[in-house]
């Protein structure tokens, strides 16, 4: 049976993620520096420039999913009125808190709990659920919860959009200062944005290594190696990490190493990962000699608009240009660009039951794209964390049938 | 002479079909799958060998399909039920068709091109509404025999509308209708109408539509009702329940022929 190929840099990943969590835990326990929670595509640069260490609950929720602890936790949140129909990151994370559980305590000696924040900062560019999620903790801990109310279904990103979000960001910084005493350091902001942009560029280069045939990495690798881009962008650590990873991947490409031995088909994955089934699905595609070469999900931490010479406006633009914020015409065009770069044979849409904003198969987009390009697609019903919404046998049959279809 | 066998271990029934090198069906069988898929696979295999008067050694190729396809350890190859239903239907209906298969717990819509190539497919979501399991549950709740349903629906003078998607809630709704004295035949026809609605909303049912699966095999009125909904007649192959197993047998033959050529 084919084995999943592991990049050497994965070992470094374990270290940088451990350092990340220990840094936050130390800050939480000592009270210095202050801790901010931030949504994963929220204004992390702003918070770092104000002297916070930054914790990302979505990362914690993904760990709950990947470790299959989520389904033990979700019912606790359901029981206090948070529906099984809403974001299962939210219900996993709040449920884990209610049960007094965190996988971080199992993974990292000395960490007992998630870090209580000094401020919670959200951006609704992903969804309203992140705000509801943070507001739950704000009520629980009586901690200020501040954020940015983003646009939705954006076509072209205009100056009006940028001005509005940049204005909200400046007000947010002032409100955070009022709430916590931490002040904005403009020079530090420029440097943070510079490092974040560098991280973004490197992450983009890493992902585009998959344009090579055969591809040296898969979507599943991407979901693991995106950790520093999510949790550490704006730091030198993340930049160093992706320089190392990129170097290793270039070596693999030079040597013709394939992530999927005998790569026969190349597929684009649209939607959230099914965190609790990453390993099983990675193996399934390995056996089918099919490489998931690219995904909107992993691409979501590419922020090419960031510009250290214009940090406020460029942050506003970067966090409004995101795929998830855009309208369907933009999304269809985006798939075409991905098709040009990666040359895939088909798309798998993951219809995540509790994540409508990341389920782009509900308004006819797959059918329109397929009709326009001839690229076939299937839809898998599942969820990011709630495995009650996932029928594994049915999904396997769909995937195998899709590959048979591509085989002709 | 070469012989090929297809074995379809579905969630509800297991089917096996034997074909010769020309694709002529020599024997077939259907029985309940039960819980031991490996055992039922051996059973249906033995039955069709006996019916075709063949020895195991004279079988050139075996392909398994269905949810239990991996439990058929004596099969040479496995293929999904999507592929096998497509192949089986193409045998009887060459040219572009839309296949609507209503199985025990899965419904499928498969679009075939002029040469029988699969252009795309849709399966039901993670829900048994509109599948054979839905009908079985209703029959159980009403204490009716599955073999009586088609006749009852044909005798119905009217039909009820079932509002719920959910099988369990549909049962509750139906039991309420029965309590109010609505004729059972009208309820059964309403149940079949619900099945037709569920498959109609899965995908576009373009061009020639061919129905397969155990539900239409035992209840051909469902095909007639889908035809009424589409405004054109719906076709059915002989023995639609065994079409996946037939397709598997034909794929075994195709694989053999390809190997011989190469």
CATH of the domain at A84: 3.40.50.11890
Is A3 within the bounds of a domain?
no
Nearest Cβ partner of A398 from B67, B83, B123? B123
Residues A89, A143 within the same domain: yes
Residues A129, A80 within the same domain: yes
CATH classification at residue A254: 3.40.50.11900
Residues A168, A195 within the same domain: no
Q: How many CA atoms within 13 Å lie on the side-chain side of A155? A: 1
**Strand-strand pairing, B25-32 and B13-20:** antiparallel
Q: Are A288 and A404 in contact (CB under 8 A)?
A: no
Are the beta carbons of B83 and A401 separated by less than 8 Å? yes
Give me the mean pLDDT over the A301-322 stretch. 96
Q: List chain A residues with CB under 8 Å of B123.
A: 394, 397-398
Is A2 within the bounds of a domain?
no
Residues A147, A238 within the same domain: no
pLDDT surpasses 90 at B248: yes
Q: How far is CA A220 from the centre of its chain?
A: 12
Average per-residue pLDDT for chain A:
96
Give me the mean pLDDT over the A40-66 stretch. 96
Question: Rounded to a whole number, what is the distance in Å from the CA of A380 to chain B's nearest CA?
Answer: 8
Residues A173, A200 within the same domain: no
List the single residue in B with minimal CA-CA distance to A399.
Answer: B80
Residues A262, A361 within the same domain: yes
Question: Rounded to a whole number, what is the distance in Å from the CA of B143 to chain A's nearest CA?
Answer: 30
Both tokens of A270, joined, read 């649209």
Are the beta carbons of A376 and B120 separated by less than 8 Å? yes
> In the listed set A131, A151, A185, which residue is the last one of a domain according to the structure?
A185
Nearest Cβ partner of B80 from A381, A404, A408? A404
Q: List chain A residues with CB under 8 Å of B126.
A: 381, 389-391, 394
Any CB–CB contact under 8 A between B101 and chain A? Answer: no
Q: List chain B residues with CB under 8 Å of A391.
A: 126
Question: Rounded to a whole number, what is the distance in Å from the CA of A384 to chain B's nearest CA?
Answer: 15
Nearest Cβ partner of A381 from B82, B118, B126? B126
- Interface A-B, measured as beta-carbon pairs within 8 A, has a size of 41
Residues A176, A205 within the same domain: no
Residues A15, A89 within the same domain: yes
Alpha helices in A67-141 (DSSP H): 70-79, 88-98, 103-107, 129-141
pLDDT surpasses 90 at B168: no
Q: List chain A residues with CB under 8 Å of B8.
A: none
Give me the mean pLDDT over the B80-108 stretch. 95
Q: List chain A residues with CB under 8 Å of B83.
A: 401, 404-405
Residues A145, A85 within the same domain: yes
Is A4 within the bounds of a domain?
no
Give me the mean pLDDT over the B23-37 stretch. 96
How high is the pLDDT of residue B164? 82
Any CB–CB contact under 8 A between A401 and chain B? Answer: yes
Q: List chain B residues with CB under 8 Å of A397.
A: 67, 80-82, 106, 123
Both tokens of A82, joined, read 């948070």
Interface of B with A in 192-251 (CB under 8 A): none
How high is the pLDDT of residue A1? 66
pLDDT band at B171 (very low <50, low <70, confident <90, very high): confident
Note the ipTM here: 0.90
How high is the pLDDT of residue B128? 79
Backbone angles phi, psi at A41, to 5 degrees: -115, 45
Any CB–CB contact under 8 A between A400 and chain B? Answer: yes
Domains and CATH numbers, chain B: 1-93+237-262 (3.30.420.40), 95-236 (3.30.420.40)
Please list, in sequence order, all residues whose beta carbon lies within 8 angstroms of the beta carbon of residue A114, skipping any fewer than 6 positions away.
A55, A57, A60, A97, A102, A104
Give me the mean pLDDT over the A1-5 stretch. 78
Q: Are B58 and B26 in contact (CB under 8 A)?
A: no
Give me the mean pLDDT over the A82-107 stretch. 97
Any CB–CB contact under 8 A between A408 and chain B? Answer: yes
> In the listed set A185, A212, A237, which residue is the last one of a domain according to the structure?
A185
Query: What's the number of domains chain A is made of?
Result: 2
Is A1 within the bounds of a domain?
no
Instruction: For residue A265, give its domain range.
Output: 188-407
Are the beta carbons of B67 and A393 separated by less than 8 Å? yes
How high is the pLDDT of residue A313? 97
pLDDT surpasses 90 at A6: no
Residues A154, A272 within the same domain: no
Q: How far apart are CA B97 and CA B209, in angstroms?
A: 6
Question: Rounded to a whole number, what is the distance in Å from the CA of B152 to chain A's nearest CA?
Answer: 33
Both tokens of B143, joined, read 């204490």
Residues A223, A308 within the same domain: yes
Task: Tell me the whole-structure pTM to 2 decimals.
Answer: 0.93
Nearest to B244 by CA among B43, B26, B82, B11: B82
Q: For residue A186, list its beta bridge partners.
A: none
> In the listed set A159, A185, A211, which residue is the last one of a domain according to the structure?
A185
Any CB–CB contact under 8 A between B70 and chain A? Answer: no
How high is the pLDDT of residue B167? 82
Residues A112, A209 within the same domain: no
Q: Which of A379, A404, A406, A408 to mutate to test the interface with B (most CBs of B within 10 A)?
A: A404
Instruction: Count other Cβ atoms within 10 Å, centred on residue B53.
Output: 10
């Amino acid at each position: 049976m084919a084995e999943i190929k592991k990049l050497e840099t994965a070992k470094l990943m374990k270290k940088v993620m451990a350092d990340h969590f220990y840094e936050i835990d130390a800050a939480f326990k000592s009270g210095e520096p202050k801790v901010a929670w931030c949504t994963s595509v929220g204004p992390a640069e702003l918070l770092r420039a104000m002297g916070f260490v930054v914790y990302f609950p979505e990362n914690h929720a993904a760990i709950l999913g990947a470790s299959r602890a989520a389904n033990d936790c979700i019912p606790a949140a359901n029981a206090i009125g948070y529906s099984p129909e809403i974001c299962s990151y939210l219900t996993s994370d709040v449920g884990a808190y209610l049960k007094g559980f965190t996988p971080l305590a199992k993974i990292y000696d000395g960490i007992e709990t998630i870090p209580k924040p000094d401020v919670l900062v959200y951006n609704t560019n992903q969804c309203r659920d992140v705000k509801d999620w943070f507001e739950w903790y704000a009520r629980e801990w009586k901690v200020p919860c501040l954020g940015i109310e983003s646009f939705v279904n954006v076509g072209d990103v205009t100056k009006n959009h940028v001005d509005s979000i940049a204005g909200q960001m400046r007000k947010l910084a002032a409100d955070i200062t009022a709430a916590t005493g931490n002040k904005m350091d403009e020079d530090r902001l420029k440097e943070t944005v510079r490092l974040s942009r560098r991280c973004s560029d490197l992450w983009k280069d890493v992902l585009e290594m998959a344009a090579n045939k055969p591809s040296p990495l898969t979507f599943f690798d991407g979901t693991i190696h995106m950790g520093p881009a999510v949790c550490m962008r704006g730091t030198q650590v993340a930049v160093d990490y992706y320089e190392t990873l990129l170097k290793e991947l270039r070596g693999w490409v030079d040597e013709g190493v394939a992530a999927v031995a005998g790569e026969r088909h190349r597929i684009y994955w649209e939607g959230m990962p099914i965190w609790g089934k990453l390993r099983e699905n990675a193996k399934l595609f390995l056996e089918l000699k099919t490489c998931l070469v690219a995904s909107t999900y992993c691409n979501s931490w590419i922020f090419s608009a960031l510009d250290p010479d214009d940090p406020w406006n460029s942050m506003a633009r970067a966090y409004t240009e995101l795929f998830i914020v855009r309208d369907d015409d933009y999304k269809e065009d985006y798939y075409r660009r991905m098709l040009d770069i990666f040359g895939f044979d088909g798309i798998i849409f993951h219809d995540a039951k509790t994540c409508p904003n990341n389920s782009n198969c509900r308004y006819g987009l797959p059918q329109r794209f397929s009709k326009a390009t001839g690229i076939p697609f299937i839809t898998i019903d599942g969820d990011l964390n709630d495995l009650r919404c996932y029928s594994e046998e049915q999904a396997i049959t769909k995937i195998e049938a899709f590959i048979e279809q591509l085989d002709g | 002479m070469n012989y090929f066998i297809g074995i379809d271990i579905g969630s509800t029934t297991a089917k096996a079909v034997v074909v010769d090198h020309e694709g002529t069906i020599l024997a077939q069988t259907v029985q309940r799958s039960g819980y031991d898929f490996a055992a039922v696979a051996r059973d249906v295999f033995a039955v069709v060998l006996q019916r075709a008067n063949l020895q195991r050694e004279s079988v050139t190729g075996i392909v398994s399909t269905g949810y239990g396809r991996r439990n058929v350890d004596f099969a040479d190859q496995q293929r999904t039920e999507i592929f096998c239903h497509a192949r089986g239907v193409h045998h009887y209906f060459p040219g572009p068709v839309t296949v609507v298969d209503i199985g025990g717990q899965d419904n499928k819509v498969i679009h075939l091109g002029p040469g029988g190539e699969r252009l795309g497919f849709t399966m039901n979501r993670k829900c048994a509404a509109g599948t054979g399991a839905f009908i079985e549950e209703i029959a159980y709740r009403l204490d009716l025999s599955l073999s009586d349903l088609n006749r009852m629906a044909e005798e119905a003078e009217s039909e009820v509308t079932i509002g719920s998607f959910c099988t369990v809630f549909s049962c509750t709704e139906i039991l309420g209708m029965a309590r109010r004295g609505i004729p059972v035949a009208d309820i059964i026809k309403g149940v079949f109408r619900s099945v037709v609605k569920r498959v109609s909303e899965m995908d576009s049912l373009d061009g020639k539509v061919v129905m397969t699966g155990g539900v239409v095999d035992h209840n051909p009125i469902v095909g007639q009702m889908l035809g009424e909904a589409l405004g054109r007649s719906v076709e059915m192959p002989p023995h639609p329940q065994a079409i996946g197993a037939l397709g598997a047998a034909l794929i075994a033959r195709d694989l053999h022929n390809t190997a011989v050529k190469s």
